[in-house]
Amino acid sequence: MDATGDLSAANDAGTIDLVEAAQGFAAIGSEPRLEVLLALVRAGPDGLSVGDIQNRLDMAASTLTHHLRFLAAAGLIVQTRQGRTIRNQAAFGQIQELAGYLLRECCAERATRDEACPHGRTQGAEQ
């Protein structure tokens, strides 16, 4: 995975597998971690420093560090050092893959019965 969260180098098919999806969903399965990830998504590609996240979410440094480690281990954020500052950025490609993991299954059973998906998705279509 590169700094943007693109999985194409790590996974030739460009899609995550069940284990990666489970890790990603587990990482955002706690409200504080989801709040951290949402703050980074809202910040856009520039991301936020640890101090910026702390101020926005009013979270203790040790707690925030724990949540950031968990999100980084799941590949949902990328951390880079800029001098003495650690910059945290949402891994948009990985987040998109995680959402796509669920959406690729939309109406899969209908497709085997030649029924149209009411959501306009076709089997195997990437959104």
Domain housing 22: 18-112
In a domain, 1, yes or no: no
In a domain, 60, yes or no: yes
In a domain, 77, yes or no: yes
In a domain, 7, yes or no: no
pLDDT in tens, the chain (127 residues): 344 444 333 344 458 899 999 999 999 999 999 999 999 999 999 999 999 999 999 999 999 999 999 999 999 999 999 999 999 999 999 999 999 998 888 887 876 666 777 776 665 444 4
Domain at 23, CATH number: 1.10.10.10
pLDDT at 94: 95
CA end-to-end distance (rounded Å), the chain: 20
In a domain, 53, yes or no: yes
In a domain, 63, yes or no: yes
In a domain, 40, yes or no: yes
Give the number of other Cβ atoms within 10 Å of residue 2's Cβ.
12
Number of independent structural domains in the chain: 1
d(CA 120, CA 106): 10
CB-count exposure of residue 75 (10 Å: 0-12, 13-18, 19+): buried
